Amino acid sequence: KPRMEEIALQIAPFPGVIDTLSALSKAHPLMIITSNSSAIVRGFVKRTALEGIEDIIGAEEETSKVKKIRRAKKMFPKHCPYYIGDTLGDIYEARRAGAVPIAAAWGWHDKERLQRGKPRHIMTHHNELRAFFGVDTTDTNSP
């Protein structure tokens, strides 16, 4: 586990994504559902000054992303659940859990691979997320 934490310290967020997620969290409840350890992701959130995350549900709490997404839906029953993922598996899991799948094509899998999962939307830039969710896009000049 210490080795995993060392590696996690070297991970840098995609340019502009931290500001985008912080802005989204001011307008909408935002959670991180991950296959990683919650503690490692909490460290990343703290290190990058990411604000407004309601909760982080990691692998030690549940291994199934479908179950984690369903749990998040129960926490915010009045909100339409969107799941933003960067892998084909994320798109399938979001749909199975009853969330609206949104593909982030700047992440792990490319746009062509993500399209196979038929996400509701494919975003190629974080500013598209801002526009989609009605969050101001004027303050981001990051790539």
Say how far apart CA 139 and CA 38 lie, in whole Å.
30
Distinct helix (H) and strand (E) counts, the chain: 7, 5
Q: Please give the residue range of the domain that contains residue 82.
A: 2-132
Residue 10 lies in a domain: yes
Is a pLDDT exceeding 90 seen at residue 12? no
Over residues 13-40, the pLDDT tens digits come to: 888 889 999 999 999 999 999 999 999 9
**CATH at residue 117:** 3.40.50.1000
Nearest to 48 by CA among 71, 21, 28: 21
In a domain, 137, yes or no: no
The pTM assigned to this predicted structure is: 0.86
